[in-house]
Amino acid sequence: MNTPLNRIAAGLGWLALGVASGVVPVSSARAEMAEMTASAEVKGGGCAVAVKMLTEIVVRQRAALAETAAKKSADEAEDVRPKLQRVADDYEVLVAAHPGFAAAWAAYGLFLCEPVVEQRRTALALLFKANGLDGELPLVKNQIGVLLAEEGRMIEALNYFLAASDLAPKEALYHFQIGLVLDEARESFLKTQAWTTATIEKTVLEAFRRAVELAPERTDYAYRAAEAYYGLAEPRWEEAYKTWSALEQRLSGDIEKQAVRLHMARVQWKIGHAAVARELAGSVDVAELKGQRAKLFAEFDAEDAAEAAAKKAGR
């Protein structure tokens, strides 16, 4: 296997973008990787020496990534490139010396998924290797699913997310991935004829509900769970409103609470409660949301005008 030498330098251009995005959000999984490394069992080609080597590499990797994240530009981050390269070199030495050590392949693959390295195609091959050596690493299955989804291989991706969830049913992320990939690529699943609109919608709502239940602090999960009611064949506005309302009660910041209130206003409008909708939207007064509030009122006014014109034309 060739070490990705110059490619790390090219990857530094992604510094300002944070975690790379795709159809399914990518988790850098640094904490999970460290935990996996610390508990790596001495089996399947691994040994005490291999575990020690891997642990030391992960320490250096985390330090290099933290140093890169602290840089203000890609040019400044270029200074860290040699350290990132040494991490890649160390992984090459480790997997060459212990080719049956699944945790080593997994950690290497996850490292190559980091935005500052961005070698996702190579990472996928390494993660497949890890999965073949040890099929009970949910973190690996999840990241394989992420990379497959980014390639548009949604059906395969779902299978890996389901497998990850089966192995770690209390990990909210895996449930969220299931809901998201089904919701975003529902046409692909419908074409297989193995899924119906009803089964997709049921699975999506349950997956998001479970994710929110397991990780109530993740407002992004709660947002997506509420929005999921909009895209149903028959939108469930009342349930959406209850979900937004519950989220508003849990939030503390004014901007966050008022952003949710705009969603609540839109839902009330859809239900037919125009006065309530306008009152809710009108209560949003933070400067950061003025544009969104104005846009929402414009939507209300446009729909009112269209309805009045339709009534007039029907007379």
**pLDDT score of 34:** 47
Q: For 196, phi and psi rounded to 5 degrees?
A: -115, 165
DSSP, collapsed to helix, strand or coil, labels residue 19 as coil
> If phi over 0 gives left and psi between -120 and 50 gives alpha, with beta otherwise, what is residue 312?
alpha
Measured CA to CA, the distance from residue 268 to residue 266 in angstroms comes to: 5
DSSP 8-state code for residue 233: S
DSSP, collapsed to helix, strand or coil, labels residue 204 as helix
Digit-by-digit pLDDT tens for the chain (315 residues) are: 444 433 333 332 222 222 233 344 444 444 455 455 544 444 446 688 999 999 999 999 999 888 888 877 766 667 778 889 999 999 999 999 999 999 999 999 999 999 888 889 999 999 999 999 999 999 999 999 999 999 999 999 999 999 999 999 999 999 999 999 999 999 999 999 999 999 999 999 999 999 999 999 999 999 999 999 999 999 999 999 999 999 999 888 899 999 999 999 999 999 999 999 999 999 999 999 999 999 999 999 999 898 888 888 876
Burial 189-209 (b: 16+ CB within 10 A, else e): beeeeebeeeebbebbbebbb
**pLDDT score of 24:** 45
**pLDDT score of 109:** 95
**pLDDT score of 43:** 46
Measured CA to CA, the distance from residue 183 to residue 179 in angstroms comes to: 6
Measured CA to CA, the distance from residue 108 to residue 126 in angstroms comes to: 7
Q: Is the dihedral of CA 241, 242, 243, 248 positive or negative?
A: positive
DSSP, collapsed to helix, strand or coil, labels residue 293 as helix
**pLDDT score of 42:** 42
**pLDDT score of 25:** 41
Measured CA to CA, the distance from residue 237 to residue 281 in angstroms comes to: 17
Measured CA to CA, the distance from residue 262 to residue 44 in angstroms comes to: 54
**pLDDT score of 312:** 81
Strand (E) or helix (H) holding 48: helix 48-70
Determine the number of helices (DSSP H) and then strands (DSSP E) in the chain.
17, 0
HSE-CB at 280 with a 13 A cutoff on CA atoms is: 24
Measured CA to CA, the distance from residue 81 to residue 121 in angstroms comes to: 20
**pLDDT score of 32:** 54
CATH architecture observed for domain 137-232 = Alpha Horseshoe (1.25)
Q: For 259, phi and psi rounded to 5 degrees?
A: -65, -40
**pLDDT score of 45:** 61
